[in-house]
Structure formats: structure tokens, C-alpha cells
């Protein structure tokens, strides 16, 4: 039974964007919501599933220029009586089928979330695994080899055409009614629409002639993937009954926390601590990169909280738009223990005009920096 719900919330509010948002901003907002409420990240959470569907419905409208224009003019009334997510016309498989590319298109086979069958073709069940990646692996891309336990047809399994439907997979029923002869077509109950039934089932196999087999699968992961993305490896799920096609292996990307860098899309943040003497006199410092190091020159009088942008020193963009930047945040370390001579020096400097704070208008406060970070 299809889960139905009534959509009354504003589509812009659901995605968290303004009515003046660009197409790319709307797409980015939907992708963020889809990853947040993704069923694989929230197993068994009906509220997360509902929010996932709401976001998909909102994007179905706002991501289409014509529908967006109608919605801006008439609101929800523009789509009353139409078939879509809100009316229950599309299920989870439909959502992934229609919007799977939102998660990225660099994986060749594309992305999808729920298994199922291609229309008119029997398809085995999808399998799902999680793959954890280090920042270094994300930087370079990596070929991961994983062991997968999947169902395959047992050796010696033989099929024969279904005698009940003649191999068509459908049962046709003709009935005489007051309106004349009526023909109805239904899925054959004997073969479940496959057109085949088992003739010889090998010992040790299940009722569908399947056995478990462990296989090593190679997964090519491109540079720049992010937490929550999914990669589809076609044909590496469970095999299908009869002559159908095998399901897919859905790989959920998990990103390991790095001890030095904080990731922000393709950009990286790095805290560089320097001494009070280095900040006062200026210095040359070596900065760690994901791979390798780079030396930077700090000017004399540099302030704690200043951010230096090293362009192109971040992570590769998934869509091959170059690399992000490395943002180096300067932190001036105040000495906590002083000897007698050092204490005397700083005592003498109290009240000295060179040691008095003189923030310039261009120097942003802590709250302004936090605001910029979240915007």
C-alpha cells in the first residue's frame, strides 16, 4: 500500500530557500535535505522518510521552471488533482529513479537508493553496504575491494515455461457482462509474472533455486565524493529468478573524521598555531596539506583569527571543476608560563602604545566571522 500524506507546507520552507533562489541553490538545498533524511541513514525512521518525500515533492515543483512559475502564482492549488508524490502516485523507487542524479553523476552508473525491477523486466533485489573513506582516499580517489554475500542461481538449476500462462507471465480472463465481453489481464499466480517455473532444483538451494555466494567486488570511487553519497555498481546485487537481471550493489559513502582538517565541500579548514613572538616579528611557517606541505610567509603583526586562503590546495571537485581552497586560520598562542625576565618585559610593555589593541574597520569580530562561516 502506498503511503499517502497531505502536503500543506510551503515548498520553499521545506527546502529552506527563498523565493529568489537560483536553480543551483534549489538543487543544492534539495540534495542537502535528501542526504539528511536518506532512508539508509535513518533506518526505520518514518518521520525521516516523510521528510525525504516532502523534500522530493518540493524539488519536483521548484526544480522545474514551468511548475515553479505555476506554484509561485497559484500555490498548491495549481497541482490539485494531479498525480505526483503528494497524491501517492510515486513511491520511493520512483523518487530515486527520477532524482538519483542529484547525488552526483560522476559514478557512471548513477545513483539510486531503493532496489526494484526495471519495468517489464524481472530484477533481483539490491544489496547495500557502507564504505568508509579517509580524507586522503577522497583526495585521490580509490579502488576499494569489498566482499559481498549475494544470492546466485545454483549450479544445475533448470527452468521450463509456465504451463498456466504459456510462458507469457500473464493470465487473461474473459467474462460476459451486461456491457459485453470484458477481458482482464493479471499477473500469473503460478510463476509470478516470470513466465518460468523451476524444473530441476539443486539440493541445498532455496525455493527459488538460489544459494549464497561470497564475491569480491571492485568499486572505483572518484575523487571528491562526500558523506552520504551513494554509488551504484550494476549487476552486483542478488540474481533474479528465471531470465531476469541481477540487482545492484548500492554503496553508501562514509567519511572518516580527519585529525587536522575540517571539510566544507571542496574546501578545507586548518588551524595554524603560532607563538606571540612569531606573530609580532613575522615568520615563515610550514603548513600541512592533504598530501605534502607548503611554506607560507606570515607578515609581522599578524592577528589571531586572520584567515589565509591557499587557492587550489583543497579537495578535487566531484564534477571536475578544479580543486577547492585551503583556509588557514591563524591562532596566536599566548604563553601560560613565564620566567622572571619575561614577566619583567611584559610588565614594562603595559601601557605601551605599540601593545594597545587598535582593531581596524576591516578586522571582523568573532561573531561576524561566525556569521560569514554559516552563510
For the segment 92-118, the average pLDDT, to the nearest whole number, is: 45
For the segment 352-366, the average pLDDT, to the nearest whole number, is: 71
Q: What is the pLDDT of residues 239-258, one digit of tens each?
A: 988 778 899 999 999 999 99
Nearest Cα residue to 114 out of 173, 16, 40: 40
Same domain? For 132 and 99 the reply is no
Q: What is the pLDDT of residues 290-330, one digit of tens each?
A: 999 999 999 999 999 999 999 999 999 887 678 999 999 99
Same domain? For 95 and 19 the reply is yes
Same domain? For 368 and 323 the reply is yes
Q: Residue 41: how many CA atoms within 13 Å on its side-chain side?
A: 17
Cα–Cα distance for residue pair 235/21, rounded to 1 Å: 39
**Domains in the chain: how many in total?**
4
* Higher pLDDT among residues 238 and 181, named by residue: 238
Q: Are 96 and 113 in contact (CB under 8 A)?
A: yes
Domain with 186, as residue range(s), is: 158-200
What's the mean pLDDT when you consider all of the chain?
A: 81
* In-domain check, residue 205: no
Q: What is the pLDDT of residues 24-65, one digit of tens each?
A: 899 889 888 888 887 767 777 888 888 888 888 888 889 888
What local confidence, expressed as pLDDT, does residue 190 receive? 81
* In-domain check, residue 207: no
Same domain? For 63 and 86 the reply is yes
Q: In sequence order, which residues have a C-beta less than 8 Å from that of residue 305 and are 6 or more positions away?
A: 329, 330, 331, 366, 369
Cα–Cα distance for residue pair 254/239, rounded to 1 Å: 27
Cα–Cα distance for residue pair 185/188, rounded to 1 Å: 9
What local confidence, expressed as pLDDT, does residue 162 receive? 87
User: Which of 44-53, 88-97, 273-282 is predicted most confidently?
Assistant: 273-282
**pTM higher than 0.75 for the full model?**
no
Amino acid at each position: 500500500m502506498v503511503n499517502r500524506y497531505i502536503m500543506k507546507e510551503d515548498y520553499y520552507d521545506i527546502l529552506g530557500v527563498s523565493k529568489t533562489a537560483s536553480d543551483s541553490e534549489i538543487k543544492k538545498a534539495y540534495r542537502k535535505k535528501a542526504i539528511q533524511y536518506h532512508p539508509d541513514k535513518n533506518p526505520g525512521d518514518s518521520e525521516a522518510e516523510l521528510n525525504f518525500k516532502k523534500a522530493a515533492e518540493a524539488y519536483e515543483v521548484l526544480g522545474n521552471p514551468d511548475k515553479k512559475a505555476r506554484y509561485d502564482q497559484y500555490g498548491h492549488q495549481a497541482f490539485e488533482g494531479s498525480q505526483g508524490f503528494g497524491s501517492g502516485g510515486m513511491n520511493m523507487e520512483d523518487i530515486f529513479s527520477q532524482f538519483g542524479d542529484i547525488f552526483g553523476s560522476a559514478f557512471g552508473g548513477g545513483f539510486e537508493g531503493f532496489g526494484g525491477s526495471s519495468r517489464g523486466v524481472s530484477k533481483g533485489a539490491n544489496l547495500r553496504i557502507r564504505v568508509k573513506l579517509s580524507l586522503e582516499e577522497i583526495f585521490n580517489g580509490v579502488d576499494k575491494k569489498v566482499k559481498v554475500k549475494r544470492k546466485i542461481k545454483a549450479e544445475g538449476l533448470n527452468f521450463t515455461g509456465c504451463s498456466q500462462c504459456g510462458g507469457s507471465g500473464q493470465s487473461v480472463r474473459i467474462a460476459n457482462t451486461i456491457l459485453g465481453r470484458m477481458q482482464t489481464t493479471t499477473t500469473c499466480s503460478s510463476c509470478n509474472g516470470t513466465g518460468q517455473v523451476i524444473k530441476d532444483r539443486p539440493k541445498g538451494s532455496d525455493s527459488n533455486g538460489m544459494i549464497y555466494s561470497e564475491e569480491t567486488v571492485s568499486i572505483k570511487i572518484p575523487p571528491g565524493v562526500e558523506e552520504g553519497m551513494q554509488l551504484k555498481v550494476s549487476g552486483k546485487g542478488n540474481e533474479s529468478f528465471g531470465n531476469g537481471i541481477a540487482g545492484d550493489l548500492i554503496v553508501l559513502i562514509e567519511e572518516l573524521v580527519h585529525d587536522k582538517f575540517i571539510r566544507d565541500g571542496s574546501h578545507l579548514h586548518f588551524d595554524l598555531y603560532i607563538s606571540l613572538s612569531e606573530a609580532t616579528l613575522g615568520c615563515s611557517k610550514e603548513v600541512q596539506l592533504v598530501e605534502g606541505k607548503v611554506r607560507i610567509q606570515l607578515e609581522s603583526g599578524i592577528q589571531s583569527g586572520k584567515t589565509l586562503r591557499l587557492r587550489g590546495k583543497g579537495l578535487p571537485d566531484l564534477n571536475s571543476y578544479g580543486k577547492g581552497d585551503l583556509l588557514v586560520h591563524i591562532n596566536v598562542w599566548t604563553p601560560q608560563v613565564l620566567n622572571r625576565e619575561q614577566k619583567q618585559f611584559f610588565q614594562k610593555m603595559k601601557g605601551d602604545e605599540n601593545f594597545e589593541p587598535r582593531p581596524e574597520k576591516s578586522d571582523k569580530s568573532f561573531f561576524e566571522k561566525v556569521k560569514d562561516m554559516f552563510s
